[in-house]
Amino acid sequence: MESRGSKRRMMAVDSRLADTLKDVANKRGLSLYSLINRIIEAYLELEKTGVDDPLEASLDYSLLRSFLSLGFTLSPPDLSSQEAWSTLGQALWSIISSRLGNRDPVHVLARAISLVFGEKNVGVVTAGQLSIIITIPPSSKIPVEGAKAMIEAMVRQATPKREIEARAVSNIVIVNIK
C-alpha cells in the first residue's frame, strides 16, 4: 500500500500502548498513523543528536520544564560586553543548528529563546514580516543589551539570507526578520 510516495509497514505494539496512542491521537486530532510516524521521527531525531537513550532525553526534558515552571532559570556566563554576548549567541546557534535536522530554524530559534527567557516572555508575530518579541524578565541575569546582542547573533546565524533588524526598548527586545 503506497502512502505519500512511501510504503507502509506493519509493526506490532503492546495493546495497552496502542490504546493509549489511540487516545492521544484523538485528543490531538491526528490519525494514529500520523501520530506514530511523529513519535518515530522524534525518536530518530534524538538518536541522531547522539543522545544515549531518547527515553532518558524525554525525562531530562520533563525535568527541565519542571524546574523552569518552579522559577529556576538557565544561568548565563558572566559577560560584560555586547561583543561577548554576540559571540555567545553565535556559539549557541552553532551547537543548536548542528542538531536541527530538517526542522524550521525560526521555530527552533523561538523555542530556544523561550527556554532562556520563559515561554510567556516570547512571542512570534507573522503579520507582514516575521517578528520575535522577547520581554526580558526583571529576574534575568542577562542585561537587555546583552540579550539583544545574543538573540540578534542567533537570528543572523539561523536566517543568513534574510535582513535582520533588532532593537531593545526598555526591557523588550524586538527582532524583525525580512
* Three-state DSSP class for residue 145: helix
| 2 belongs to a structural domain | no
Put the strands of the sheet holding 164-169 in their side by side order: 122-125, 130-135, 172-177, 164-169
Could you identify the residue written with the cell 508575530? Answer: 125
15 lies in the same domain as 99: no
**Predicted pLDDT at 1:** 43
| 3 belongs to a structural domain | no
63 lies in the same domain as 109: no
100 lies in the same domain as 131: yes
56 lies in the same domain as 97: no
Higher pLDDT, 65 or 173: 173
54 lies in the same domain as 86: no
| 157 belongs to a structural domain | yes
Final residue of a domain: which of 47, 68, 89?
68
pTM check: above 0.85 = no
| 57 belongs to a structural domain | yes
96 lies in the same domain as 19: no
Rounded CA-CA distance 170/48 in Å is 41
Instruction: Read off the pLDDT of residues 50-99 as tens digits, 9 standing for 90 and up.
Output: 777 888 878 887 888 888 788 777 777 888 899 999 999 999 998 888 77
- Cα-based angle 43, 20, 6 (whole degrees, multiple of 5): 50
Rounded CA-CA distance 49/51 in Å is 6
| 1 belongs to a structural domain | no
101 lies in the same domain as 156: yes
Beta carbons of 21 and 13 less than 8 angstroms apart: yes
Domain count, the chain: 2
Beta carbons of 178 and 169 less than 8 angstroms apart: no
Q: Which range marks the domain in which residue 123 is found?
A: 76-177
Final residue of a domain: which of 52, 68, 84?
68
Taking Cα atoms as reference points, which of 129, 111, 143, 120 lies closest to residue 175?
A: 129
Per-residue pLDDT band for 139 (boundaries 50, 70, 90) equals: confident
**Does 114 have pLDDT greater than 60?**
yes
| 81 belongs to a structural domain | yes
DSSP run (H or E) holding 135: strand 130-135
43 lies in the same domain as 63: yes
Instruction: Read off the pLDDT of residues 10-59 as tens digits, 9 standing for 90 and up.
Output: 889 899 999 999 999 999 999 999 999 999 888 888 887 777 788 887 88
- Longest pairwise C-alpha distance within the chain: 60
| 5 belongs to a structural domain | no
